[in-house]
Structures are given as structure tokens and as C-alpha cells.
């Protein structure tokens, strides 16, 4: 049992260490440490899942290709199944996030190839988008870093990569914010309506965009994918193409926003680390990895066991789900020296903030590129930036770690 948690305070459910819970929001790391040290392979009967907190078990699980992800393969009533069941029909027709081989590889491989060559090609343009957004933020006084910088950058970047028409950008941003509500299992009625409206509008828009690019290809990812589909190089249906292009949008916005927000918050609360970055901007790449390790924007991922097996000596049955706490793995003292110290100056072993194995985040290279440039540009433009005096509010979305607002003074 960890010293800082009293007897009887050991979490019983993964929801207690998620952003759902006030403790999980204000400090997820204390209860996660207690689990890591006292019950690293926990059976959670409330969420009907196993919950892993040790780096070694988690690395092994996410890398193991024999696990599956398709929610219908999970036991009834489990969180993995309920979460998707109650959402947007993902159960029958999921994106690559919830697909298994051979479909997963059939779709992911050509998509990743096209996506990565596009990101490389567009690097200068992506950096210019970031520069413009940071230059347009207030020159002095107080402002909310989330709404001025961390939120607009990822959505504008992905819109340009996909090839969204400039004239539709405002609508696209509005729909994107609407569909991101699909990540929230506790939407209000109004939010549920907004989600449905946005999803319909976005589906219609992607159909329109795909039709237009088939007729007249442009220099963008939608045209690249339409061409691969037409040539037979990508064996992918129209529906699959649309769904997975949308997955890039949903998967990449909030997460990258949180990487930027968490990073700026960490630098402003660790001035010695900010000084180190300012003194050597080439540390930005390592700084991004340390932010990802220290406050992982996605705090958990999951797998479904296809058969009876053991994890850490515990009996896991076929169809049971296994949640892996990426946030906990990244603070495991068995792997990271002084794990609770935010230190951008040392090279650490690799973290698991992007998961691992066949489902490892497809957007990792883009998120890294964006965050690296944001940290360099932001602190060069605002060398005197400090935190404004305002209460810190973490978002309540379970399994994500990010700030609602981040008031700064420049």
C-alpha cells in the first residue's frame, strides 16, 4: 500500500482514478501509485474489467497481437462494450481503433502510409499554421491559452491535411467540436443532439469532399486516399474510407489540444524546466516526450482477451476486457528514475502515452510535430508568460487528462 493513501482507500474501480471522479481529476497519480504497489492487476466488478497499472504488464499487453479490440467480442456489460454500445453505432462498423485483423491492417496500412507522407510534405505549412495562430493571440494582458491556442491549432492542421475547403473551415470546426462529444459518455440532451447533428453534417461533408476530389484531385489526403482506392492499392469501401478519415479528426483534436495545454501548464509550474527549454530550444523534442510521460493526455487504453490466460498471476477469462493505465505505467518507478519529477533534461526510457503494438496511435508523429513547434514558438514569442491567478479546472471526460481553461499573463 502506498504511504500516502490510508488503509481502505485503495480504489475499487477504474472510474475512481478517471477524470469522472473529483480525486481522479485533481490527482490521479496518488491512487494509481497505490494500485501499482498494492494491486497492480485489479479486477473491477463495477466496470467489469481488469485494470493494469504496472509498466511491464501494460507494455506486454498492448504489444501482444493476440488480444482483440472489436467491442462485440467483449463480455456483455463490460465498460469497453457499454461505452461503444451507447455511442453512434461504432459497434457494427468501427474505425480502425476498434477493428481487428485482417480488416485492421487492410485499412490502417495504406491510410498510415498516405498520412505519414502527407505530414512530411506539409511540415512547413503545418508550422506556418501554428505560427499564425500564436501570432494572432493577444500581445499583452491575460488570455485563455486553451481557447486561443491549444484548441484551434489541431483542428486547423487536420483540416488542411485532409483538404477541407477554406470557405467551409468555420463549419468544419464547429462540426469537429460537435463530434468530439462522442468521447463523452455523459452528454446532456442538448450535447447529444449537437453530436448527432454534427456527425450527420460531417458525414455529408466528407461524402461531398470525396466525390469532388475523385472528379478533380487536389494536393491533400482525401485525394491521396481516393486515388489509392481507385487504383486498388487500398482495398477499402467508401464507408470505411469516410469513417477512418473522420477518426483522424476525432482521435487527433482533443488529444493534441491536451498535449499542448498540459505542456504549457507544466512549464509554467516548473520554471527551471522552462529556463532549460529557453536556453536550448533543441530540447523541445525531448520535452514533448516528457510532457507525454508525465501527464498523458489519454490515460487508458484497452484490449479484450480472446482466451483464458494469466496476467501477473491473475486468471483472465476469454472475452474479459483489460484496461491499461497509460498514466500509471508512465510513472512506474521500476522503469523511470524519479518518476514524479518533471525533467526535460534527461533522456528517459520510452513511455506508453501513445499505446503500443498494432494499435499504437497513428497520429503520434503529427502530435509530436505540432507540440514541438508550439513549445518553441510560444515561449519565444512570450518569454515572460506566467500562470494567471485562476483555479485550475481539469476536464471531466473519463480516460482523458486535459484542462478546461488555462489562464495566462503575457
- Using CB under 6 A as the binding rule, whether residue 266 contacts ligand HEM is answered as no
Residue whose CB is less far from ligand HEM, 56 or 357? 357
Q: Which range of residues in 132-140, 216-224, 244-252, 391-399 is near ligand HEM by CB under 6 A?
A: 244-252
* Three-class SS state of 304: strand
- Using CB under 6 A as the binding rule, whether residue 355 contacts ligand HEM is answered as yes
Contacts with ligand HEM in 59-78 (CB under 6 A)?
A: 62
**In the numeric block, which cell numbers belong to residue 114?**
498516405
Residue whose CB is less far from ligand HEM, 71 or 252? 252
- Using CB under 6 A as the binding rule, whether residue 297 contacts ligand HEM is answered as yes
Residue whose CB is less far from ligand HEM, 69 or 410? 69
Residue whose CB is less far from ligand HEM, 277 or 300? 300
Residue pair 401/255 in contact (Cβ under 8 Å)? The answer is no
Residue whose CB is less far from ligand HEM, 22 or 89? 89
Residue 351 pairs with which residues in a beta bridge?
Answer: none
Q: Which range of residues in 14-22, 50-58, 162-170, 297-305 is near ligand HEM by CB under 6 A?
A: 297-305
| DSSP helix, strand, coil percent of the chain (3-state; round to 5) | 55, 10, 35
- Using CB under 6 A as the binding rule, whether residue 94 contacts ligand HEM is answered as no
Interacting residue with ligand HEM among 354, 375, 382, 394 (CB under 6 A): 354
Q: Which range of residues in 121-129, 183-191, 278-286, 295-303 is near ligand HEM by CB under 6 A?
A: 295-303
For the chain, what is the total number of helices (H) and then of strands (E)? 16, 9
Instruction: Give the strand order in the sheet containing 41-44.
Output: 41-44, 49-52, 321-325, 300-304
Residue 128 CB partners (closer than 8 Å, separation 6+): none
Q: Which range of residues in 15-23, 45-53, 124-132, 351-359 is near ligand HEM by CB under 6 A?
A: 351-359
Residue whose CB is less far from ligand HEM, 33 or 303? 303
Residue pair 18/24 in contact (Cβ under 8 Å)? The answer is yes
Q: How many CB atoms lie within 10 A of CB 17?
A: 29
What CA–CA distance (Å, rounded) separates 350 from 336? 9
What CA–CA distance (Å, rounded) separates 311 from 57? 7
Q: Which range of residues in 273-281, 315-323, 329-337, 350-358 is near ligand HEM by CB under 6 A?
A: 350-358
* Three-class SS state of 394: strand
Q: Which range of residues in 17-25, 197-205, 212-220, 254-262 is near ligand HEM by CB under 6 A?
A: 254-262
Q: Which range of residues in 71-79, 228-236, 269-277, 293-301 is near ligand HEM by CB under 6 A?
A: 293-301
- Using CB under 6 A as the binding rule, whether residue 109 contacts ligand HEM is answered as no
Q: How far is the CB of 205 from ligand HEM (least distance, A)?
A: 17
What CA–CA distance (Å, rounded) separates 304 from 49? 9
Q: How far is the CB of 358 from ligand HEM (least distance, A)?
A: 7
Q: How far is the CB of 291 from ligand HEM (least distance, A)?
A: 9
Residue pair 203/176 in contact (Cβ under 8 Å)? The answer is no
Q: How far is the CB of 302 from ligand HEM (least distance, A)?
A: 7
Residue whose CB is less far from ligand HEM, 152 or 363? 363
**In this structure, what are the phi and psi dihedrals at residue 319, rounded to the nearest 5 degrees?**
80, -5
**In this structure, what are the phi and psi dihedrals at residue 400, rounded to the nearest 5 degrees?**
-125, 150
Residue whose CB is less far from ligand HEM, 283 or 367? 367
Closest by CA position to 386, among listed 358, 357, 356, 406: 406
- Using CB under 6 A as the binding rule, whether residue 119 contacts ligand HEM is answered as no
Q: How many CB atoms lie within 10 A of CB 184?
A: 18
Contacts with ligand HEM in 5-24 (CB under 6 A)?
A: none
DSSP collapsed to 3 states, 333-358: CCCCCCCCCCCCCCCCCCCCCCCCHH
- Residue with grid cell 462498423, as numbered in its chain: 93
- Using CB under 6 A as the binding rule, whether residue 248 contacts ligand HEM is answered as yes
Length of the chain: 410
Query: What are the angstrom distances between the C-alpha of 82 and each of 48, 49, 72, 160?
Result: 10, 12, 10, 34
Interacting residue with ligand HEM among 19, 97, 277, 406 (CB under 6 A): 97
- Using CB under 6 A as the binding rule, whether residue 152 contacts ligand HEM is answered as no
Footprint of ligand HEM on this chain (CB under 6 A)?
Answer: 62, 96-97, 108, 158, 247-248, 251-252, 255-256, 259, 297-298, 301, 326, 353-357, 359-363, 366-367
Amino acid at each position: 500500500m502506498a504511504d500516502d493513501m490510508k488503509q481502505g482507500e485503495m480504489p475499487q474501480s477504474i472510474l475512481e482514478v478517471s477524470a469522472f471522479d473529483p480525486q481522479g481529476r485533481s490527482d490521479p497519480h496518488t491512487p494509481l501509485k497505490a494500485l501499482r504497489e498494492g494491486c497492480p492487476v485489479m479486477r473491477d466488478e463495477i466496470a467489469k474489467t481488469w485494470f493494469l497499472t504496472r509498466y511491464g504488464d501494460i507494455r506486454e499487453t498492448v504489444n501482444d497481437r493476440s488480444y482483440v479490440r472489436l467491442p462485440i467480442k467483449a463480455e456483455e456489460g463490460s465498460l469497453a462494450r457499454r461505452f461503444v454500445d451507447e455511442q453512434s453505432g461504432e459497434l457494427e462498423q468501427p474505425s480502425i481503433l476498434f477493428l481487428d485483423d485482417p480488416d485492421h491492417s487492410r485499412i490502417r496500412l495504406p491510410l498510415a502510409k498516405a498520412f505519414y507522407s502527407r505530414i512530411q510534405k506539409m511540415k512547413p505549412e503545418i508550422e506556418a499554421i501554428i505560427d499564425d495562430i500564436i501570432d494572432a493571440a493577444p500581445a499583452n494582458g491575460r488570455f485563455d491559452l486553451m481557447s486561443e491556442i491549444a484548441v484551434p491549432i489541431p483542428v486547423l492542421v487536420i483540416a488542411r491535411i485532409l483538404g477541407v475547403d477554406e470557405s467551409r473551415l468555420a463549419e468544419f470546426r464547429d462540426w469537429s467540436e460537435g463530434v468530439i462529444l462522442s468521447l463523452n459518455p455523459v452528454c446532456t440532451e442538448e450535447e447529444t443532439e449537437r453530436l448527432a447533428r454534427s456527425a450527420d453534417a460531417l458525414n455529408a461533408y466528407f461524402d461531398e469532399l470525396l466525390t469532388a476530389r475523385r472528379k478533380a484531385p487536389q494536393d491533400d489526403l482525401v485525394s491521396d486516399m481516393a486515388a489509392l482506392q481507385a487504383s486498388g492499392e487500398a482495398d477499402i469501401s467508401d464507408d470505411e474510407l469516410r469513417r477512418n478519415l473522420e477518426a483522424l479528426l476525432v482521435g487527433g483534436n482533443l488529444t493534441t489540444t491536451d498535449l499542448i495545454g498540459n505542456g504549457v501548464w507544466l512549464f509554467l509550474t516548473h520554471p527551471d524546466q522552462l529556463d532549460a527549454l529557453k536556453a536550448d530550444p533543441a530540447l523541445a523534442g525531448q520535452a514533448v516526450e516528457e510532457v507525454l510521460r508525465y501527464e498523458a493526455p489519454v490515460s487508458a487504453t484497452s484490449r479484450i482477451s480472446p482466451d483464458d490466460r494469466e496476467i501477473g498471476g491473475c486468471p483472465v477469462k476469454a472475452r474479459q476486457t483489460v484496461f491499461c493505465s497509460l498514466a500509471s505505467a508512465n510513472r512506474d518507478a521500476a522503469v523511470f528514475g524519479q518518476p514524479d519529477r518533471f525533467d526535460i533534461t534527461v533522456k528517459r526510457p520510452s513511455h506508453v502515452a501513445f499505446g503500443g503494438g498494432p494499435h499504437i496511435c497513428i497520429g503520434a508523429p503529427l502530435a509530436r510535430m505540432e507540440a514541438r513547434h508550439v513549445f518553441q514558438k510560444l515561449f519565444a514569442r512570450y518569454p515572460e508568460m506566467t500562470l494567471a491567478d485562476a483555479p485550475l479546472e481539469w476536464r471531466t471526460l473519463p480516460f482523458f487528462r486535459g484542462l478546461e481553461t488555462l489562464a495566462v499573463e503575457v
